[in-house]
Homo-oligomer: A and B are copies of this chain.
Amino acid sequence: MALIVQKYGGTSVGSIERIKNVAERVAKFKTLGHHVVVVLSAMSGETNRLLALAKEMQALPDPRELDVLISTGEQVTIALLAMALKALGIQAKSYTGSQVRIVTDSAYTKARILAIDEERIRSDLDAGKVVVVAGFQGIDEYGNITTLGRGGSDTTGVALAAALKADECQIYTDVDGVYTTDPRIVPEARRLQTITFEEMLEMASLGSKVLQLRSVEFAGKYKVKLRVLSSFQETGEGTLITFEEENTMEQAIISGIAFNRDEAKITVLSVPDTPGIAYRILGPVADSNIDVDMIIQNIGANNTTDFTFTVHRNEYHRAIELLRDLQPKLGAREITGDDKIAKVSIVGVGMRSHVGIASTMFKTLADEGINILMISTSEIKISVVINEKYLELAVRVLHKAFNLENAASI
């Protein structure tokens, strides 16, 4: 008998039928004798519907009131699932974030969990009930309703699993696990049975979007056993996210290929190469709340330097304008940029102990005539920026080069 936290996302509870399917899955686990805590998102589309209403009331909706409004989405699904479970003869009880007492800070629309009072949930579990908790929401110390930001339901699931010392936190989604890359681009892409937390962090931040980055960090911090599963398949092991490099002998060097086409790059050409130049360029960018991803600085001629960085594509024009305003002050020759780029990354803990991974990557791309515009590396990933039009080709040839269609290869 295990204690399992199951989190179902918006598409998994997107209709009456799907909520009933979730109830049947939960009932199966309950019948096997497990304690089950279910964490739910709002029905898909509901949060956007509520956001649209808010924007009709106030151009920039008040954050406190926005949280009061959008937290109703999960409150609806928890009540409906509890009813569906009762209709199946399963004892169930719903909890809003406020009722659990998922205490957060007061940063409306992007609050962070500070503490969870798990007492009442535990006593309901002991009484044989399935506990259904609203994801994504909490309450601050003054009793105000807060939300954790998009994808916050994953964080709720992991945080509850940590607080309850659950045996496993299962994240049900519309994919059946983490893949070596996007199967829509590479049909041979293979589901990974396990992936390490570090790899998952790199995959998630690079746009794999299976799990919210913050929930993975949370799981790593509290050593929560996390599994990604499909809510639309009857069976399947999903992908287990592990803490350690277990069985490295059998593990592939590269676990997967992530990519992201939401970026744009900006180059500041020929600025005087003086101490503090990076800060003088990126300080104003950060002050304007524009996130910067990759940063590269090349030594140039005549005591000047070229400085390149990437931002989210939506911020591209704002960033370019900002820097052109600054250009005289920076003493830069020119501000150029390109928003038709894509980032491709190979990720794997195995590359730590292997050489030649980078050269295989670069040779593979060169063989296809794909020019590399930027390179950035970490302990367990190598990212390159290329022209957007080569993205699919690059992912396919790299997937093949690292033999990812076969398990435990190279």
Residues of A at under 8 Å CB distance from B?
16, 19-20, 50, 53-54, 56-59, 61-62, 64-66, 68-69, 71-72, 75-76, 78-84, 86-87, 93-94, 96, 98-99, 143-145
**Docked-complex contact B75 and A19, CB < 8 angstroms:** no
Q: How far is the CA of A52 from the CA of B50 in the complex (A)?
A: 20
What are 16 inter-chain pairs, A to B, with CB distance below 8 A?
A16-B57, A19-B57, A53-B76, A53-B80, A57-B81, A57-B83, A58-B86, A62-B82, A62-B86, A64-B94, A65-B80, A65-B82, A66-B79, A69-B75, A99-B143, A99-B144
By Cβ-Cβ distance, the 4 closest A-B pairs, closest first, are: A69-B79, A57-B83, A72-B72, A68-B79
Q: How far is the CA of A34 from the CA of B266 in the complex (A)?
A: 55
Q: How far is the CA of A96 from the CA of B145 in the complex (A)?
A: 10
Q: In the complex, which of the residues B57, B79, B81, B145 contacts A84, with contact meaning CB atoms closer than 8 Å?
A: B57
**Docked-complex contact A69 and B58, CB < 8 angstroms:** no
* A408 vs chain B, min Cβ distance (A): 45
**Docked-complex contact B94 and A68, CB < 8 angstroms:** yes
* A259 vs chain B, min Cβ distance (A): 38
Q: For residue A82, which residue of chain B has the nearest CB?
A: B65
**Docked-complex contact B58 and A87, CB < 8 angstroms:** yes
Assembly of this chain: how many copies? 2
Q: In the complex, which of the residues B50, B53, B66, B83 contacts A54, with contact meaning CB atoms closer than 8 Å?
A: B83
Chain B contacts of A62 at CB under 8 A? Answer: 82-83, 86
**Docked-complex contact B72 and A75, CB < 8 angstroms:** yes
Listed residue (A58, A65, A86) with the most chain B CB atoms within 10 angstroms of its CB: A65
Known: A65-B86, A99-B143. A54 touches B80 (CB 8 A): yes
Q: How far is the CA of A99 from the CA of B56 in the complex (A)?
A: 25
**Docked-complex contact A69 and B59, CB < 8 angstroms:** no
Q: For residue A55, which residue of chain B has the nearest CB?
A: B83
Chain B contacts of A98 at CB under 8 A? Answer: 98
Chain B contacts of A50 at CB under 8 A? Answer: 76
Q: How far is the CA of A66 from the CA of B98 in the complex (A)?
A: 18
Q: How far is the CA of A68 from the CA of B56 in the complex (A)?
A: 26
**Docked-complex contact A20 and B57, CB < 8 angstroms:** yes
Listed residue (A50, A57, A94, A143) with the most chain B CB atoms within 10 angstroms of its CB: A57
**Docked-complex contact A80 and B69, CB < 8 angstroms:** yes
Q: In the complex, which of the residues B57, B64, B86, B94 contacts A80, with contact meaning CB atoms closer than 8 Å?
A: B57
Q: How far is the CA of A56 from the CA of B87 in the complex (A)?
A: 10
Chain B contacts of A64 at CB under 8 A? Answer: 93-94
* A136 vs chain B, min Cβ distance (A): 14
Listed residue (A56, A61, A68) with the most chain B CB atoms within 10 angstroms of its CB: A68
Q: How far is the CA of A72 from the CA of B376 in the complex (A)?
A: 48
Listed residue (A57, A65, A79, A84) with the most chain B CB atoms within 10 angstroms of its CB: A79
Chain B contacts of A57 at CB under 8 A? Answer: 16, 19-20, 80-81, 83-84, 87
Q: For residue A52, which residue of chain B has the nearest CB?
A: B16
Q: How far is the CA of A62 from the CA of B129 in the complex (A)?
A: 14
Q: For residue A94, which residue of chain B has the nearest CB?
A: B68
Q: How far is the CA of A84 from the CA of B58 in the complex (A)?
A: 6
Q: For residue A57, which residue of chain B has the nearest CB?
A: B83
Q: For residue A132, which residue of chain B has the nearest CB?
A: B65
**Docked-complex contact B86 and A56, CB < 8 angstroms:** no
Chain B contacts of A68 at CB under 8 A? Answer: 75, 78-79, 82, 94, 96
Chain B contacts of A78 at CB under 8 A? Answer: 68
Q: How far is the CA of A145 from the CA of B98 in the complex (A)?
A: 11
Chain B contacts of A53 at CB under 8 A? Answer: 16, 76, 80
Known: A59-B87, A62-B86. A54 touches B69 (CB 8 A): no
Listed residue (A59, A71, A87) with the most chain B CB atoms within 10 angstroms of its CB: A87
Q: For residue A80, which residue of chain B has the nearest CB?
A: B57
Chain B contacts of A56 at CB under 8 A? Answer: 16
Q: How far is the CA of A41 from the CA of B184 in the complex (A)?
A: 47
Q: How far is the CA of A277 from the CA of B166 in the complex (A)?
A: 63
